A and B are shown apart, each in its own frame.
Chain A
Amino acid sequence: AQSVTQLGSHVSVSEGALVLLRCNYSSSVPPYLFWYVQYPNQGLQLLLKYTTGATLVKGINGFEAEFKKSETSFHLTKPSAHMSDAAEYFCAVSVVPFSGGYNKLIFGAGTRLAVHP
């Protein structure tokens, strides 16, 4: 069965510092992996995704993530935090092999990122 573990429910960084949000997954099939961001009182917005091919994927707002099969990880990074990055971040794995034609997601518990001046 697929599962996602996000280490750290809360992460606090200074503006301009490196952002690192950790995600480990478990999957019995080659995974599709996603990072979503949720701003207060809003829905989820896709930041980036890994399906196949290049293991380093770049997303919106300067975020990137690297798929490491040997470590079953998909950590999210951003070189320099901005105040506007404060939000909750969710890592997700696609449960159904995508050949099934739909994208059923299993989410991690989320990491709330705080950015301090």
Chain B
Amino acid sequence: GAGVSQSPSNKVTEKGKDVELRCDPISGHTALYWYRQSLGQGLEFLIYFQGNSAPDKSGLPSDRFSAERTGGSVSTLTIQRTQQEDSAVYLCASSLQGSEDAFFGQGTRLTVV
């Protein structure tokens, strides 16, 4: 596609449920990043993928958070047993390997009620 695509754009879930957030990067971009934007914490790094592997997952806040990437393309961020503090906008970005120019998607707004 022309840009980074994220789905769903909005997600409301009940506390304790699992959610999956999807990111479809720009074609050919082997580097993929997840960030979280929340009122209390601002914009924070979660995880980086190089191809299908994640050499840096230092920003994942707890073991309830996991992510995978398949075929060097689509990535899924999974949050298990959601809590209210997980409410945030989850942003995905991609770039060419070795480039400092990251292109961001529009984000998924997650609300845990």
Per DSSP, chain B at the interface is strand
CA distance A36 to B102 in the complex (A): 10
A32 close to chain B: CB less than 8 A: yes
Which residue of chain A has its CB nearest to the CB of B44?
A107
B43 close to chain A: CB less than 8 A: yes
Which of A18-26, A73-81, A97-105 lines the interface with chain B? A97-105
Q: Which residues of B contact A46 (CB under 8 A)?
A: 101-103
> 8 Å CB contacts to B: which residues of A62-106?
90, 92, 94-96, 98, 101-106
Find A105's partner among B45, B50, B55, B97 (CB 8 Å cutoff). Answer: B45
CA distance A46 to B3 in the complex (A): 13
Question: Is the pair B98, A101 in contact by a Cβ cutoff of 8 Å?
Answer: yes
* Most chain B Cβ neighbours within 10 Å, of A101, A109, A110: A101
Tally the A-B contacts, defined by beta carbons under 8 Å: 59
A61 close to chain B: CB less than 8 A: no
Question: Is the pair B102, A90 in contact by a Cβ cutoff of 8 Å?
Answer: no
CA distance A107 to B38 in the complex (A): 12
B21 to chain A, nearest CB (A): 14
A43 close to chain B: CB less than 8 A: yes
Question: Is the pair B107, A43 in contact by a Cβ cutoff of 8 Å?
Answer: yes
A27 close to chain B: CB less than 8 A: no
CA distance A98 to B101 in the complex (A): 12
Which B residues lie at the A interface, using CB under 8 A?
4, 31, 33, 35, 42-45, 48, 50, 55-56, 91, 93, 95, 97-107
Closest 5 A/B residue pairs (Cβ): A43-B104, A107-B43, A44-B104, A43-B106, A103-B100
Subset of 15 A-B contacts with CB under 8 Å: A36-B104, A44-B91, A45-B104, A51-B100, A90-B43, A95-B45, A101-B97, A103-B95, A103-B99, A104-B48, A105-B35, A105-B102, A107-B43, A107-B44, A109-B42
